[in-house]
Chains A and B, each alone.
Chain A
Amino acid sequence: MPARTMFDKVWAAHEVVPETPDTPAVLYIDLHLTHEVTSPQAFALLRAQGLRIRRPDRTLATLDHSTPTRTEQIFGDEPIGLTDAARQVHQLEENAREFGMELYGLRDPRRGIVHVIGPEQGHTRPGMTIVCGDSHTSTHGALGALAFGIGTTEVGHVLATQCLLQRKPKTLAVEVGGRLGAGVTAKDLILAIIGRIGVSGGTGHVLEYRGPAIAALSMAERMTVCNMSIEAGARAGMIAPDDVTLAYLAERPHRPRPADWDAAVAGWRALASDPGAAFDAHVAIDASVLEPMITYGTNPGMVLPIGGEIPNDRGDPVLERALAYMGFRAGEPMLGKRVDVVFVGSCTNGRLEDLQATAKILRGRRVAPGVRMLVVPGSQQIKREAEALGLAEVFRQAGAEWRESGCSMCLGMNGDTVPAGATAVSTSNRNFEGRQGAGARTLLASPYTAAASAVTGRITDPRDLL
């Protein structure tokens, strides 16, 4: 057999029917994750056609997107403030009951952001195909799964058949050499990669992140990297399973049974791309020269090292429009710009390590007067862990708000929004116009940079405070 990439292996193992020029492949889906925002219309379709969920045992639902993060609204008597959001939450609860789908409901200790809980609970495993009506499904590729976002019509297809009609994507190897420096994180790495590839550079491709800098990353860091593959336009991102992956999996509630463990490990170890496997495209990045990165514009590819100056390409209408929206001028430095809001959380940077990084900066310091800081854990388990480690107390003492888990201010569906015209440093994944609220101005950065900027009220190089 010719040398194959990891993607080729996972794809081939899930081809129910191979593609032909006239017909797409029928691809088997091992795990289907659903949430309240992109599933209601798919369940309506099932109802209209008299269909059931074909494999409820391969389907899992959680509440995250339009879900409140205020404790009183989850565990107290306070109603969900937004009527439509409340209706969506209740609709998913009703759909789960009617269709026999497991739901990590509002007060479930396993609830959290869909891309945080999948790996955390051990539902996500190497070699799986995983889909969800959410573009950041690419996160799960950190464990060597082929995981990608789908639309609601396709959610209906998977619910009804456990399969999808798919054309085989191409592969792009992202070779990351060297090692990240102190204070430079996985978030800075993926922002630098997107800056290099561009926001449409990965279109039609599955990225495989590889090389010594990737091997040195923890699982949480790998998830941050794979999470933002979609921001380069890619269908998915993958990292080969290794000892780090196995150690992580061994601690999951849904790990394979002891009797099945060795066989599972053998299968996972065989997933890595064969030596000499051909990729359709290559990009090489040296991690050791990277600095903390921050975005200055209105897509994640508009990014620069934090000490840098906003590009001065006069006459570029895209840049001019972005800068007008952001209220920035070409040639200005990013350091020292005023900050109104700081958000730490999301499927990109809402894991325990991200909260630890945030606390490392905030410990013994205060959020600057006039700055609102919101810290939202990626899951209820992470919330409990952060509280047990005393991190929550660090956040509270610093003057930050500490919330229940959810997508929250990443996209502002639940009412956690950035006001129009305000500048937010956010550990999330998208700085699109209006993403965090109509007129909101978003700067994407690492938890270190977000926390450092919260303390000074200005864009700050976190290495000055570490």
Chain B
Amino acid sequence: MEPIKTLRSTTVVMPSTNIDTDQIIPARYLTVTTKTGLGKALFADLRYAADGTPKPDFVLNRAEAAGSRILVAGHNFGCGSSREHAPWALVDHGFRAVVSTAIADIFKTNALKNGLLPVIVDPATHRWLVEHPGAEVAIDLESTELALPDGRRVAFPIDRFARHCLLNGIDELGYLRGQLPAIERYEAAHGR
């Protein structure tokens, strides 16, 4: 995986709470055996009419959303199914960070493994971001801070190990395989 250190982009705002993974990518798009090309299915039911034409009022279909890499979303983003297709679709579309006041557990884990930063901010910062769609913000993974256009910097929590892996482009499977001697000892000691 490529290292991530900083990210600067305008935002796309989807203020709804509880945006579940069925909304992020409906189940009928999960019949794939690869990870690629899922960006076109991102938010499919919100984004396209039944005949496949883009809905002009959906935020991702507006001209100003093009090229945005930061999605600001309502509380409890990514709840529901464990489908990693959700972060795959977001990343394939071009997003590299989701900013919310809460992000569901499995989605957060899946996001971190695909270079999609889950950024949890306080309600006041979130409100500002929701009220200023398209604002240019910067996310610094080194300092774990989000910088607003007026210069305010807001710290966000992120698992230290995940941060280390993202900053250095470390593959977690490589790290885990490095633990194989300990795993073998465990199996021997515990009758596994």
Contact = CB atoms under 8 A, between A and B. Distances in A.
Contacts of B32: 40, 84, 88
A65 B104 CA distance: 22
Contact of A37 (B31, B50, B80): B31
Given A82-B31, A203-B105, A433-B23, A321 B16 contact: yes
B82 interface: yes
A91 B26 CA distance: 21
Contact of B20 (A66, A167, A432): A432
A395 interface: no
Contact of B76 (A45, A203, A434): A203
Contacts of B164: 22
Contacts of A435: 22, 27
A165 B79 contact: no
A40 B76 contact: no
Contacts, number: 174
Nearest to A92: B33
Nearest to A16: B186
Interface string A8-34: 000001001100011110101010000
Interface stretch (B63-71, B90-98, B142-150, B176-184): B176-184
Interface string A31-69: 000000110110011000100000000000000011000
Given A156-B173, A233-B105, A28 B183 contact: yes
Nearest to A22: B160
Interface residues of A, number: 65
B45 interface: yes
Interface stretch (A144-152, A239-247, A452-460): A144-152
B183 A26 contact: yes
A85 B106 contact: no
A230 B80 CA distance: 7
Contact of A434 (B17, B26, B31, B75): B26
Contacts of A165: 161, 172, 175-176
A65 B173 CA distance: 27
Q: How large is the interface on B (under 10, 10 to 19, 20 to 34, 35 or more residues)?
A: 35 or more
Residue in A17, A200, A235, A433 whose Cβ sees the most chain B Cβ within 10 Å: A200
Contact of A420 (B35, B50, B76): B50
Interface stretch (B2-10, B54-62, B109-117, B133-141): B109-117
A413 interface: yes
A411 B175 contact: no
Interface in A141-163: 149-154, 156-157, 160-163
B27 A157 contact: no
A187 B50 CA distance: 33
Nearest to B162: A24
B183 A318 contact: no
A38 B82 contact: yes
A26 B192 contact: no
Contacts of A203: 76, 102, 104-105
Contacts of A23: 160-161
A204 B118 CA distance: 15
Interface string B148-192: 000000000001110010000000110111011011001100101
A133 interface: yes
Residue in A16, A88, A133, A134 whose Cβ sees the most chain B Cβ within 10 Å: A16
Interface string B73-103: 0011001111110010000000000000010
Contacts of A16: 179, 182-183, 186
B22 A38 contact: no
Contacts of B28: 412-413, 438
B18 A299 contact: yes
Interface string A81-102: 0101101100100000000000
B34 interface: yes
Interface in B11-51: 15-18, 20, 22-23, 26-28, 30-35, 45, 50
Interface in A359-379: none
B97 to A, nearest CB: 18
B80 A150 contact: no
A430 B80 contact: yes
A135 interface: yes
A17 B179 contact: yes
Interface in A409-437: 411-413, 420, 430, 432-435
Given A233-B79, A299-B18, 7 more contacts: A23-B161, A28-B183, A153-B110, A165-B175, A200-B18, A318-B18, A412-B27
Interface of B: 15-18, 20, 22-23, 26-28, 30-35, 45, 50, 75-76, 79-84, 87, 102, 104-106, 109-110, 113-114, 159-161, 164, 172-173, 175-177, 179-180, 182-183, 186-187, 190, 192
23 contacts: A28-B183, A37-B30, A66-B31, A87-B31, A88-B31, A88-B32, A133-B84, A151-B109, A154-B113, A161-B176, A162-B187, A163-B183, A199-B18, A200-B18, A200-B76, A200-B79, A204-B105, A233-B76, A413-B27, A413-B28, A413-B30, A434-B22, A438-B28
Interface of A: 13, 16-17, 21-24, 26, 28, 30, 37-38, 40-41, 44-45, 49, 65-66, 82, 84-85, 87-88, 91, 133-135, 149-154, 156-157, 160-165, 167, 199-200, 203-204, 230, 233, 235, 299, 317-318, 321, 411-413, 420, 430, 432-435, 438-439
Closest CB pairs A-B (n = 7): A84-B31, A151-B110, A40-B33, A151-B84, A149-B82, A200-B76, A153-B113
